Amino acid sequence: MSKVLENLRYADSHEWVLVEGDVATVGITDYAQHALGNIVYVDMPEAGDEVTAGEEFGAVESVKAASDLISPVSGEVLEVNEALEDAPELINEDAFANWIMKVKISDASEIENLLDAAAYAKVCEE
């Protein structure tokens, strides 16, 4: 059974968001890492890039498949998790502790479109 954390918001494309003020920390969910299997590469944006809600901002590659990362929010990328460049398997170890990027949120209303933990858990069951 995959883990879902209560304090996060979720996209149905299996990304999680932690909102702190106007900064959103984004990663992929435990369900996603489990479905992908051993992750071998994370293609991340660069600090300063603009990302758009609902659009691709990178990709994760596992031994099974390559999947696009879809940004749950719009805004400027403040920072990416450089540890993933050398150790992408950290996401398999703990998908919630090992975030992928931090974004300065440009449109806070987009957060309202995301799922809460209960709704996301339901998506995973389907």
Partner 1 sequence: MKYYDKLIFELSREGRKGYELPANEFTSNSIDAIPANLLRQEPADLPEVSELDVVRHYTNLSNKNFGVDTGFYPLGSCTMKYNPKINEEVAALPQFGGLHPMQTEETVQGALEVYYNLQRALSEIAGLGEFTLNPYAGAHGELTGLMVMRSYHEQRGDTKRRKVIVPNSAHGTNPASAMVAGLEVVEVKSKPNGSIDVEDLKPLLNDEIAGIMMTNPNTLGMFETEILEIAKLVHEAGGLLYYDGANLNPLLGKARPGDMGFDIMHINLHKTFSTPHGGGGPGSGPVGVRKGLEHLLPNPRVTKDAEGVFHVETGADSLGSISAFFGNFGVMLRAYAYILTLGKENLKMVGPMATLNANYIKENLKDDYLLPIDGVCKHEFVFDGLKDKSTGVTTLNVAKRLLDYGFHAPTIYFPLLFHESMMIEPTETESIETLDEFIEVMHKVAKEARETPDDVKNAPLTTLVRKLDETTAAKHPILNYRTLKAQQA
**How far is Cα 53 from Cα 110, in angstroms, rounded to an integer?**
8
Taking CB under 8 A as the rule, does residue 64 contact partner 1? yes
Q: How far is the CB of 108 from partner 1 (least distance, A)?
A: 30
* Residue with the two structure tokens 């293609």: 43
Cα 8 to Cα 23, 62, 63, 71, 114: the distances in Å are 13, 24, 28, 15, 10
Going residue by residue from 84 to 123, which x/- string records binding to partner 1, judged by CB under 8 A?
Answer: ----xx----------------------------------
**How far is Cα 81 from Cα 19, in angstroms, rounded to an integer?**
17
Binding segment for partner 1 (CB under 8 A), chosen from 59-67, 70-78, 96-104, 110-118, is 59-67
Q: How far is the CB of 120 from partner 1 (least distance, A)?
A: 17
Residues of this chain that interact with partner 1 (CB under 8 A) are 35, 38, 40-41, 61, 63-65, 88-89
